[in-house]
Amino acid sequence: MTHIVKPAFKHPNLPRNALGFTHREYEGVVSTLCAGCGHDSVTAAIIEACFELSIAPHRVAKLSGIGCSSKTPNYFLNRAHGFNTVHGRMPSIATGANLANRDLVYIGVSGDGDSASIGLGQFCHVIRRQLDMTYIIENNGTYGLTKGQFSATNDRASKSRRGTENPFGAIDLAVIAIELGAGFVARSFSGDKTQLVPLIKAAMAYNGFALIDVISPCVTFNNHAASTKSYDYVRQHNEIVDHIDFVPDADAITVNYAEGETVSVALHDGSRIALHKISDDYDPRDQLNVLTSLRRDRGEGKVTTGLLYIDEAGGDLHSAMRTSTEPLNAYAMEDLCPGSDKLTEINAQFR
Amino acid sequence: MLPRVESQPMSTDPLYNEFVIKFGNVNGSGSASANTFAARALFRMGIPVSAKNIFPSNIQGMPTWYEIRASEAGNLARRDGIDVMVAMNPQTYERDIKDVIPGGTLLYDSSWPRQFGRTDIEILGIPFAKLVAKVYQDPRQRQLFKNIAYLGAMTLLLNIDVDVVTGLLAEQFRSKPQLIGPNVQALEIGREYLRANPPSTLPVQARASQAAAGKILINGNEAAALGAIYAGATVASWYPITPSTSLAEAFEKHTNLLRRNDDGTLRAAVIQAEDELSAIGMAIGANWNGARAFTATSGPGISLMSEFLGLAYFAEIPLVLFDIQRGGPSTGMPTRTQQSDILACAYASHGDTKHVLLFPADPGECFTFSADAFDLSDRLQTPVIVLSDLDIGMNDWVVDEFNWSKNRRHDRGKLLSSSELENLEDFARYRDVDGDAIPYRTIPGTHADKGSYFTRGTSHNEYGGYTEDGVLHAETLKRLSRKFETAATIVPKPVIYTRSTKSRLGVINIGSTDHAVREALEHFAADGQGINHMRIRSFPFTDEVISFAHEHDFIFVIEQNRDAQLRTLLIIEADISSKKLVPILNFDGMPLTAVGIYEAITLVLQSNPSVVKAISAPLSLV
């Protein structure tokens, strides 16, 4: 089967953003995922976030590995170049791409098999290098394309469709990311668009590595009563630690939260996150307490969501490596090739 | 008959500028720099030299050797038969003394006197350790300056210009001038001893020459790194592995000097990856995004990179990969040389894949092929693997000065600009528009609504869309096959030396074996046996390769691996009869010698006219 292109028809009264684009300019081809797949909701949230941020679609590079999640970059931003790489290796492709052109916006979409198993090494190292990208994990605890094997994010004792109990503990990618120095770490739920869209917007505006671990139930293989990655389970156990509003640059902060409960976090592009704290003792800027709190929630079977951790200072690979502010792929060859006269000097070094 | 180097000439006149010095040392003792000074000093005197570092995969304590062949005539292959052995490692005295030819000289540290049991060579003892201990107190200094002291002795023994050596010391320690004095003093320790205890004149001597005029002394990894800089490479992602590490490090060193902006930032990114998978992934990502990027590795890295090589092949992404081959299989002999990744590279990755290979023969070609590889890779939109080896990559070779034409323009191939896209009605990433099987590509962010596509390793239609249509899949594979035919028209052609148009005999080789092959064939020519010679420089094979095969009845294929991999590739890909390709193989990890080749070929020729019989029993030089 080849991919299905959406019809070009566009309602004349569709809302337009600052670039004059409607949502249609941010869409991709028709999804071939199962009806009701959580991943399609994440796709919709990415489209909404890019539309609301008025990002020029062609200035985005969208990358993925292999798996159901990794198909999704085809379903948003048709005008952006996409790269469906090999299993578990999207981070290295994203790193090279970003080194070549620091001016694009990088969105990586991965899954729990792609990031927590085969790609755990690359996942860790892209975080360690603080690559400036938004890394979205569509986490369903299962291998969908190969029909329902447990993944490494599946909780211990969670059951498969056939009733087999998972004997191993889960890898919590959000906790790993915080430990390894990710500057922006969030968890969300594909069924919670009001939480997910502002998180994606803030992640894209963040300068540095931004992770969103999205629990995204697999309707076919992991949405039954005994699963801890089902729609029902997540809805019942969702522990929301904060609500965030993403406030673009120059807009006044107008949020409806009570005084004292709202924290305003500045991002590097001038935009801000207005953070409404639900719990008094949860401050996403306090790494030590965040990790303690996440461990406690986990022990209690809660799925903690929201902006879990933010390092306001940020920082990325290019500043660490001192690469030029001009994208490397924009230099003319004359600026890169030292030329024949210089070669005479170089030859002299080897006499 | 090849004049095997068996003894020094009987004449009382010394033999000038034709000799081999071998240093036997303990690794980690700082001997490498002293030995390198000796090679560089001879080269600065104008004498062509080759230097072979035979080192262990170890930090400290194991035996290590360094051989310098000086040859006015320009014969720069490794040569057995040592004229002067500088034996500084008692662990290896026994085998080191055997290497010295009758009439040769053994220099050793006589602080601990010793009988060597050979009367046909000159044994020269200098108590280096004791002499050095009188001057230096610090144990590390004593160790280091002992090396400089034997270098000093060498200057007198071989008549190496001491001013050249002190000049080299001064350059070496330019940033630490306080070290120049003590080093010069250490040189004098060796020289003073010999002045007080003059030995008889050595039968081999150095003297100033013009034979190395217009040449440079450089290793292949540094040359390849410079080629990448001249090609405009901006991203280098790599993972440390002997013997390729120094290529990435040289690239970093030279970008720091040549690519620095006024604000201190760099027009390059050199990134040490967490493994080879990531190293090649980064290089592919950067190339996909329009930068010129490369990675460098050795055999084990090729195994790890294979999956990504298949992606770059199928998704048609440029990539330059340097494979500095070492002894395999598995971890093998990390510090020895081989040509045993030929098939692994030609067909790297699952499914039907084939890759463009370049075979540089020396650092000169490492520079030019490195630069050419980026053009070829951009033009063909496929990985280009430069197959160097440890001998070329890590040893110093004398080659012609590098040259870069002022008129040379980088060729980025079919890369569409924004304005070209603007005028294009329908962009299809994988459409063969020009009939050469090479499509047009775009890089991300070029145009607001034209030129985007989805790069994938899954099967795709002309637009890059996912497909499971078997007809489309087969068409893509066939086009990639045709693209390989296009490649055969633009890759470097072989170098052919025709000695006799009537000769039935030919030799085919690649890469670092060339000096040894040419020296051996010179001797056959002197015997009246004209053997024609073709050095292949690339894969896919060009028409010239096939013609050469047709013009000869028997062809010796000389290569450094067990399984005759180049021969296999010639049989499979150039359809050359296996009957006429006689394998001459070496896989002990040492650079080839002319004598070894001469003897192996002679053995086959002596069994003539039944050369065919020899084909069924491959000859081994091991």
DSSP string, A263-326: EEEE-TTS-EEEEEESSTT--TT-HHHHHHHHHHHHHTT-EEEEEEEE-TT---HHHHHTB-SS
Please report the beta strands in B313-416, taking only residues with DSSP state E, as ranges in sequence order: 319-325, 356-358, 383-389, 396-400
pTM for the full predicted model: 0.95
With CA atoms as reference, the chain A residue closest to B409 would be A333
If one counts the domains in chain B, the total is: 4
Q: What mean pLDDT is reported for chain B?
A: 95
Cα–Cα distance measured from residue B294 to residue B369, given in angstroms and rounded to the nearest whole number = 13
Look at residues B605, B598, B583 and name the one whose alpha carbon lies nearest to residue B508: B583
Look at residues B543, B545, B587, B547 and name the one whose alpha carbon lies nearest to residue B565: B587
Residues on chain B touching A73 (C-beta within 8 angstroms)? 454
Whether the pLDDT of residue A241 is over 50: the answer is yes
Q: pLDDT at position A193, please?
A: 94
Q: Do A347 and B235 touch (CB under 8 A)?
A: no
Beta bridge partners of A108: A63, A135
Q: pLDDT at position A261, please?
A: 65
Q: pLDDT at position B331, please?
A: 97
What are the structure tokens assigned to A58, written together? Answer: 């062609």
What range does the domain containing B327 cover? 218-400
Residues B47 and B154 in one domain: yes
CATH number of residue B256's parent domain: 3.40.50.970
Look at residues B337, B333, B250, B247 and name the one whose alpha carbon lies nearest to residue B52: B337
The DSSP string of B130-165 is: HHHHHH--SHHHHHHHHHHHHHHHHHHHHT--HHHH
Q: What is the pLDDT of residues B271-314, one digit of tens each?
A: 999 999 999 999 999 999 999 999 999 999 999 999 999 999 99
Residue A87 lies in a domain: yes
What range does the domain containing A116 cover? 23-334
Cα–Cα distance measured from residue B111 to residue B128, given in angstroms and rounded to the nearest whole number = 7
Residues B447 and B535 in one domain: no
Residue A16 lies in a domain: no
**Given CB atoms, is A278 within the 8 Å cutoff of chain B?**
no
Residues B350 and B486 in one domain: no
Q: Residue A72 has what DSSP assignment?
A: G
Q: pLDDT at position B377, please?
A: 98
Whether the pLDDT of residue B139 is over 50: the answer is yes
**B41-57: string of b/e by CB count within 10 Å (b at 16+)?**
bbbbbbbbbbbbbbbbe
Residue for token digits 């499914």? Answer: B351
Cα–Cα distance measured from residue B554 to residue B503, given in angstroms and rounded to the nearest whole number = 10
Residues B255 and B319 in one domain: yes
Rounded mean pLDDT, B144-160: 97
Name the percent of chain B lying above pLDDT 90: 93
Q: pLDDT at position A1, please?
A: 43
* Residue count of chain A: 351
Residue B231 lies in a domain: yes
Rounded mean pLDDT, B149-173: 97
Residues B153 and B225 in one domain: no
Q: pLDDT at position A160, please?
A: 86
Q: pLDDT at position B523, please?
A: 95
Q: pLDDT at position A267, please?
A: 78
Residue finishing a domain among B461, B490, B519 = B490
Between B194 and B3, where is the model more confident?
Answer: B194
Residues B335 and B423 in one domain: no
Q: What mean pLDDT is reported for chain A?
A: 91
Which residues 125-184 of A have a C-beta within 8 angstroms of B?
125, 129
Rounded mean pLDDT, B424-452: 97
With CA atoms as reference, the chain B residue closest to A95 would be B282
Residue B2 lies in a domain: no
Residue B413 lies in a domain: no
Whether the pLDDT of residue B577 is over 70: the answer is yes
Cα–Cα distance measured from residue A213 to residue A195, given in angstroms and rounded to the nearest whole number = 13
Cα–Cα distance measured from residue A165 to residue B154, given in angstroms and rounded to the nearest whole number = 76
Q: Do B218 and A350 touch (CB under 8 A)?
A: yes
Q: What is the pLDDT of residues B36-53, one digit of tens each?
A: 999 999 999 999 999 999
Look at residues B287, B438, B245 and name the one whose alpha carbon lies nearest to residue A101: B287
If one counts the domains in chain A, the total is: 1
Of the candidate ranges A55-64, B521-530, B532-541, the one whose mean pLDDT is the lowest: B521-530
Residues B135 and B193 in one domain: yes
Residues on chain A touching B291 (C-beta within 8 angstroms)? 99-101, 328-329
CA distance A232 to chain B (A): 34
- Provide ipTM, 2 decimals: 0.95
Rounded mean pLDDT, A268-285: 78
Whether the pLDDT of residue B119 is over 70: the answer is yes
Residue A349 lies in a domain: no
CATH number of residue B501's parent domain: 3.40.50.920
Q: What is the pLDDT of residues B470-508, one digit of tens each?
A: 999 999 999 999 999 999 999 999 999 999 888 889 999
Residues B476 and B579 in one domain: no
Answer yes or no: are the C-beta atoms of B531 and B580 closer than 8 Å: no
Q: pLDDT at position A3, please?
A: 59
End-to-end CA distance of chain A: 63
CATH number of residue B38's parent domain: 3.40.920.10
Residue B411 lies in a domain: no
Rounded mean pLDDT, B131-152: 95
CA distance A297 to chain B (A): 33
Rounded mean pLDDT, A74-101: 98
The pairing of strands B356-358 and B383-389 is parallel
Whether the pLDDT of residue A147 is over 80: the answer is yes
Residue A195 lies in a domain: yes
Residue B423 lies in a domain: yes
Q: What is the pLDDT of residues A111-143, one digit of tens each?
A: 999 999 999 999 999 999 999 999 999 999 999
Residues B469 and B610 in one domain: no
Q: What is the pLDDT of residues B181-215, one digit of tens each?
A: 999 999 999 999 999 999 999 999 999 999 999 99
Q: pLDDT at position B615, please?
A: 40
Residue finishing a domain among B374, B400, B426 = B400
Q: pLDDT at position B7, please?
A: 59
- Identify the band that residue B617 occupies on the pLDDT scale cut at 50, 70 and 90: very low
Name the percent of chain A lying above pLDDT 70: 94
Residue B1 lies in a domain: no
Q: What is the pLDDT of residues A14-35, one digit of tens each?
A: 899 999 999 999 999 999 999 9
Q: What is the pLDDT of residues B355-366, one digit of tens each?
A: 999 999 999 999
Residues B443 and B502 in one domain: no
Residue finishing a domain among B183, B205, B227 = B205
Q: How many CB pairs under 8 A join A and B?
A: 222
Query: Which residue in the set B230, B280, B455 is minimally distant from A83, CB to CB?
Result: B455
- Identify the band that residue B611 occupies on the pLDDT scale cut at 50, 70 and 90: low
Look at residues B247, B338, B321 and name the one whose alpha carbon lies nearest to residue B282: B321
Residue B9 lies in a domain: no
How many Cβ atoms from other residues are within 10 Å of residue A180's Cβ?
A: 18
Residue B396 lies in a domain: yes
Whether the pLDDT of residue A258 is over 70: the answer is no
- Identify the band that residue A250 occupies on the pLDDT scale cut at 50, 70 and 90: low
Q: pLDDT at position A252, please?
A: 47
Instruction: Order the strands of the B293-297 sheet from edge to edge.
Output: B269-272, B235-238, B293-297, B319-325, B383-389, B356-358, B538-539
- Identify the band that residue A251 occupies on the pLDDT scale cut at 50, 70 and 90: low
Cα–Cα distance measured from residue B51 to residue B36, given in angstroms and rounded to the nearest whole number = 8
Between B615 and B611, where is the model more confident?
Answer: B611
Query: Helix or strand or coil: residue B285?
Result: helix
Residues B159 and B235 in one domain: no
Residue B388's Cβ-count burial label (10 Å; 0-12, 13-18, 19+) is: buried
Which residues 214-233 of A have a C-beta within 8 angstroms of B?
none
**Given CB atoms, is A345 within the 8 Å cutoff of chain B?**
no
Q: What is the pLDDT of residues B369-387, one digit of tens each?
A: 999 999 999 999 999 999 9
Q: pLDDT at position B13, please?
A: 87
Q: What are the φ and ψ backbone dihedral angles of B474, each rounded to 5 degrees?
A: -65, -40
Residues B451 and B596 in one domain: no
CA distance B307 to chain A (A): 8
Q: pLDDT at position B620, please?
A: 46
Name the percent of chain A lying above pLDDT 90: 76
CATH number of residue A132's parent domain: 3.40.50.970
Residue A116 lies in a domain: yes
